[in-house]
Structures are given as structure tokens and as C-alpha cells.
Amino acid sequence: MTASTVARSREVWAAGDYQKVGVRLVLASEHLVADLGVRPGDRLLDVGGGTGNTALAAARRDADVVCSDLVPELLEYAVRRAEVEGLAIGTEVADAAELPFPDASFDVVVSTFGVVFAADPEQAARELLRVLRPGGRLGLTAWRPDAPGGRLLALVARHDPEHASGDPLRWGTQDGVDGLFGRGELRQVRHSERTVEFTAPSVAAQWQRYRDWFGPVHVAWQRLDEDGRAALEREFGDMWGSATRGGGPGIVVPNTYLQTTGVRAA
């Protein structure tokens, strides 16, 4: 990644208050570390770890955890969360495409909705495998392109292409992930579709949350003119409104993602 791409990504993810949106992903993190069979003493790296959802899930299983991310402020939040829970994690500011760790440093490498934003997906995929020891386990999650999470990323990229980073929808399809790890270095690959339900008191409340707290939407909204803002809000509202299930009150939106696990070839 060039210095300016890194700076733009940092600006996006430091904006707003990611924790207030990201906390709704805790279940995906818990499922991933359970499916990977994370054990006490496993050396585990979380890439694009943000405020620590998956790092904390692993720390709850007594793994020896390093949470890495582009944005130092998010990692500070992760450390505060760990302290409140009586857990310990290490942190490292790092670009997923240039991990500052020696080859084969970890037993487990994970990324929940994080590495998908690396500007160079192939390079990031190589880095994930490089720092994983042969026989070590890799675990990833990414929104399905047709799920609200994927559609939201596409919507924001359309309104603010300059700040869009990486190819997040590619990581949300089986073919996309197989293409990134298709050289035989990843074995026992398992893809599964999972769903987390996103709730909000109303579509309007959901919009406010994303506009104020979710970096990509927050930054796009700040840059748009009045017409652009109105269009973004309308399309956002249409999407969440049409995806809600059941009667009121509030909205309950099933959000489906692809979970991929595999083992680095020996």
C-alpha cells in the first residue's frame, strides 16, 4: 500500500466510533474461535482486529493473543476492553499487507471483517500465510456480497470511491477466497455461511448509528453535498427497511457472512 492509501484507510477507520457498531459482531468472533478450536497457549494473531472482538474471544479461551490493526486508537480501545474483562492481550499497529512478524510466528491467524480492506488482497493473503506456522489454522469472515453488510460496503464505495479500500466482497465468496489461497498452501478449507442478526430501534436510528459511528459511512457523509447525502440516506434506509424480518418493534436484519477456515500446508 502506498503511504497515501494507508493514511486514507486510517482516516476512515479512526472516524466515528467503530466500537459502537462493531460490538454487534461479537457472536461472529466467538463462533470463529470455537470453530478453530483455539486452545490455551495458542499464539494467535488477529489482523484488522479493530477494538478487539476476535482478539478478546480468543483471550477468553486463554490463547496468547496479539491484536493488530492500522488504527492505534482502536487498539487502545481493545486494551481497555480486555482490562475491564480481566484479560490480557498484546497489540501491534500493522498494515495487513506488511505484517511486522517473522515467518511462522503464530499457531492461529484470524481476521473478522478486517483483512478484507487491505488494498492488495493477494499480498495480504500471502502475509497471513507467511506469519502462520506450517500446520497452523487460519480463520476469516467476510460479508456475503448480497447480505446487508456487503451491500452497505458497495453502497458506500459507490458514493465515496476515493475512500474505498481493498476488495471486501471478493473475500465474501467461496471462489474469491479460493482464488486468494489457491496455490495449495491452505488445506482442509471449510467454507460456511453464517448469519448474525443486526437490530435497531428503527431504520432512522440505524442510519444515525452508521452516519455518526461507522467510519466509511461517516467519512462519505461528511464529503458529500446535500443531494449526495440525501441519496445515501435514502438508499441506506431502503436497504435496511426491506431487509428487516418479522413485525415491529424495531428492525431485525439477518446479515450473512462467509466464514472460511483452513490449515497451512506443512
Ligand X SMILES: C[S@@+](CC[C@H](N)C(=O)[O-])C[C@H]1O[C@@H](n2cnc3c(N)ncnc32)[C@H](O)[C@@H]1O
DSSP designation for 26: H
Q: Does 70 sit near ligand X (CB under 6 A)?
A: yes
CA distance 75 to 73: 5
> Stretches 65-73, 203-211, 226-234, 249-257: which one binds ligand X (CB under 6 A)?
65-73
Q: Smallest distance from the beta carbon of 127 to ligand X, in angstroms?
A: 10
CA distance 31 to 57: 9
The residues pairing with 142 across neighbouring beta strands, listed in sequence order, are: 258
Tell me which of 32, 44, 45, 50 binds ligand X, using CB under 6 A.
Answer: 50
DSSP designation for 128: H
Q: Cα angle at 158 between 46 and 173, to 5 degrees? A: 45
Decide whether 115 or 203 has the Cβ nearer to ligand X. 115
For residue 174, the surrounding DSSP H or E stretch is: helix 174-180
Q: Smallest distance from the beta carbon of 246 to ligand X, in angstroms?
A: 26
Q: Does 71 sit near ligand X (CB under 6 A)?
A: yes
Tell me which of 91, 112, 206, 259 binds ligand X, using CB under 6 A.
Answer: 112
Tell me which of 42, 44, 49, 63 binds ligand X, using CB under 6 A.
Answer: 49
Residue 18 exposure: Cα atoms within 13 Å on the Cβ side: 27
Binding site for ligand X (CB under 6 A): 9, 13, 22, 25, 29, 48-50, 53-54, 69-71, 74, 95-96, 112-114, 117-118, 165
